[in-house]
Amino acid sequence: MSIRAANRVAVERLMEGEPVLVGCVPAAEALGLTGRVVLHAGPPLAWEHACATMQTAILCAVRYEGWAKDDRAALELVTGGAVSLAPCHHRGAVGPMTGMVTPSMPVFVVENRRHGNRAFATINEGLGRVLRFGANDASVVERLAWLAAEAGPVLDAALRSSGGIDLRAIMSKALSMGDEMHQRNVAASCLLIRALLPHLSRATADRAVLARVAEFLASNDQFFLNLAMAAAKAIADPCLGIDESTMVATMARNGTEFGIRVAGLGARWFTAPVNTPQGLYFPGFGPDDANPDIGDSAIVETVGLGGFAMAASPAVAGFIGHGGLPEAIAATEEMAEICLDEHRHFRIPTLVDRGSPVGIDLRKVVETGITPLINTGMAGKVPGTGQIGAGVVRAPLACFEAALEAFGAKSLANRRAPG
Amino acid sequence: MTMIDDLLASQVRIINLGIETFAIELQGLGVPVIHVEWSPPAGGDARKAALLAALADEEEDEA
């Protein structure tokens, strides 16, 4: 198959994936996550190379699971190998920012009904002092425990009652309502809650529990982010292994390295040091306080959302310090230069209903030097700070260059091989 | 008369590729100019450019 034909197959898979939200169950059950394992965002990461924000989150996750009573004991378990680390992506999951997933955490189950594969993401914890931003006090652990004991089971009951919620339909509608599904998920969260409401109302007879879950859902504009990420992973994963395709199928960051995987190169990661986001900071914080780029959330850009769909969300462009509508349109048009197609289902009203750019072509990135633009939250680099703002960040060119070299070596060797 | 003399004897209209400051300078002199953003493939890295050429979509795939 030619590169062009392979890329056609790959980008069609991205556009025609059918992510459906079907449940919310503990990671132990959904991912088969047994033993003392902590999943993290981004490509593989050794403890000693992790940034302080990631390390703090890992220790907090160990305490949350009850494997250690304090950070010192948790540190001994991790450095001694009694707790192992692995990327979320290696277990079918994605996690925003630090991306912590441990066995007892409930995870949403998203099924790609076109290809039969599944992807998983934790419940978004809300804003403020939360584990994904590296906050680690008692309130963080208490909220995680509530999610596992109460919110997860109620959401699971509601989802099973619904028979599954079509996430691509929600994402398509939300794009026309001003979301780009990375830094703005207000519309998508509302649409999801509307779809869930009748089923939630029957999910428990305990009105106090129902009220707590309803308050939690209603208080978080970014609730849908984790679902957009799981949907994107469910859509993108079947692209890995399409021989001869130069399309990028994964982008993820662990706070130290930015990693990509390419459809035609399978599970192999290509990494380069992450950049640090630039944007707008909450009062009292500035550029020197920002942690380097972190999180699996760049999977939404991989499928044509987030920074690639900036034109759909001028409000986000302003919020993250990237100008207004003209700059938002320019950002999407720039991303179109490195993509294979315009999305059939993700349409952008401000571009007269053109599709969002989709299917990042490795060759176009290296040829033009234009690197993917990613919308992102910013974590404080001092452990325990939490979120300090939001902004944009560029993927580093070096990982695309390394992937192109590897792709060239493989593809050209195949052409030279007899038969 | 050479072709270049013919060209310069008439109204010069310019298409400028790459470096935008040339176009801005000409505009300032009242010369009609269209600027086209362009940069050499892979930032001018000849080895990467050759690799990109080897991996380019085939002509017969165009249809």
pTM (2 d.p.): 0.94
Please check whether residue A4 lies inside any domain of the structure: no
Please check whether residue A412 lies inside any domain of the structure: yes
Please check whether residue A384 lies inside any domain of the structure: yes
Of A95, A68, A213, A94, residue with least CA distance to A147: A213
In one-letter notation, the amino acid at residue A142 is E
Please check whether residue A164 lies inside any domain of the structure: yes
Where a domain ends, among A229, A258, A275? A229
pLDDT, position B14: 93
Where a domain ends, among A229, A263, A290? A229
Answer yes or no: do A194 and A328 share one domain. no
Where a domain ends, among A229, A249, A279? A229
Residues of A in contact with B55 (CB under 8 A): 3, 246, 363, 404, 407-408, 411-412
Put simply, the answer to whether A404 touches B57 (Cβ < 8 Å) is no
Please check whether residue A161 lies inside any domain of the structure: yes
pLDDT, position B60: 55
Residue of A nearest to B62 (CA): A4
**CA-to-CA distance for A157 and A282, rounded, in angstroms?**
37
Answer yes or no: do A254 and A224 share one domain. no
Digits of tens for pLDDT over chain A (419 positions)? 899 999 999 999 999 999 999 999 999 999 999 899 999 999 999 999 999 999 999 999 999 999 999 999 999 999 999 999 999 999 999 999 999 999 999 999 999 999 999 999 999 999 878 999 888 889 999 999 999 999 999 999 999 999 999 999 999 999 999 999 999 999 999 999 999 999 999 999 999 999 999 999 999 999 999 999 999 999 999 999 999 999 999 999 999 999 999 999 999 999 999 999 999 999 999 999 999 999 999 999 999 999 999 999 988 888 777 788 999 999 999 999 999 999 999 999 999 989 999 999 999 999 999 999 999 999 898 988 888 999 999 999 999 999 999 999 999 888 887 65
Put simply, the answer to whether A369 touches B42 (Cβ < 8 Å) is yes
**CA-to-CA distance for A291 and A231, rounded, in angstroms?**
26
What secondary structure letter does DSSP report for B54?
A: H
Put simply, the answer to whether B51 touches A408 (Cβ < 8 Å) is yes
Put simply, the answer to whether B55 touches A3 (Cβ < 8 Å) is yes
Answer yes or no: do A190 and A245 share one domain. no
Query: What CATH number is attached to the domain comprising A331?
Result: 3.90.1700.10
pLDDT per residue over A247-285, tens digit each?
999 999 999 999 999 999 999 999 999 999 999 999 999
Answer yes or no: do A199 and A245 share one domain. no
pLDDT, position A386: 82
Cα separations in angstroms, A262 against A74, A195, A299, A393, B52: 35, 35, 13, 20, 16
**Helix B46-54 vs helix A397-416: crossing angle, to nearest 10:** 50
Number of domain units in chain A: 2
Q: Smallest CA–CA separation between A41 and chain B, in Å?
A: 30
Complex confidence, ipTM: 0.89
pLDDT per residue over A44-69, tens digit each?
999 999 999 999 999 999 999 999 99
Answer yes or no: do A217 and A260 share one domain. no
Answer yes or no: do A31 and A118 share one domain. yes
Answer yes or no: do A220 and A121 share one domain. yes
Q: Each residue of B14-34: b (16+ CB within 10 Å) or e? A: eebeeeeeebeebeeeeeebe
Query: What CATH number is attached to the domain comprising A102?
Result: 3.90.1710.10
**CA-to-CA distance for A64 and A340, rounded, in angstroms?**
43
Domains of chain B, by residue range, sit at 3-61
- For A328, the domain range is 241-416
Answer yes or no: do A66 and A167 share one domain. yes
Find out whether A124 and A225 touch, Cβ atoms under 8 Å. yes
Of A244, A280, A281, residue with least CA distance to A263: A244
pLDDT, position B63: 44
Residue B37's pLDDT band, with cuts at 50, 70 and 90, is confident
The residues in A 228-247 lying below 8 A from B, measured between CB atoms, are 246
Residues of B in contact with A368 (CB under 8 A): 39
